[in-house]
């Protein structure tokens, strides 16, 4: 796994943990979080490719959307 991909997944894991904490729910184990983060990053890359934007912009928008709820 490349450096940037690993950093993206680490960010996604942190966001998932934050979301679970905010909802007062127990987060799943680390392996499940890693798989979920991988799927999120795969989706972000697919969306970025389709829309011609970068992944970081998409993640920022997702975070802003999560914070507004």
The three state secondary structure string of 7-69 is HHHHHHHHHHHHHHHHCCCCCCCHHHHHHHHHHHHHHHHHHHHHHCCCHHHHHHHHHHHHHHC
Considering the entire predicted model, what is its pTM? 0.76
Residue 24 lies in a domain: no
Q: Residue 69 — pLDDT band, cuts 50, 70, 90?
A: low
For residue 61, being part of any structural domain is answered with yes
Q: Do the domain assignments include residue 20?
A: no
| Domain range enclosing 64 | 29-69
Asked if the model's pLDDT at residue 53 lies above 90, the reply is no
Domain assignment present for residue 40? The answer is yes
21 occurs within a structural domain: no
Q: Identify whether 6 is part of a domain.
A: no
Count of domains for the chain: 1
In-domain check, residue 57: yes
On the question of pLDDT at 16 being above 70, the answer is yes
Does a structural domain hold residue 15? no
């Amino acid at each position: 796994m490349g450096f940037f991909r690993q950093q993206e997944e680490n960010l996604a894991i942190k966001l998932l943990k934050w979301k679970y904490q905010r909802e007062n729910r127990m987060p799943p184990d680390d392996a499940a979080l890693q798989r979920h983060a991988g799927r999120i990053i795969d989706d972000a890359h697919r969306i970025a490719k389709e829309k011609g934007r970068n992944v970081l912009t998409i993640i920022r928008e997702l975070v802003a959307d999560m914070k507004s709820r």
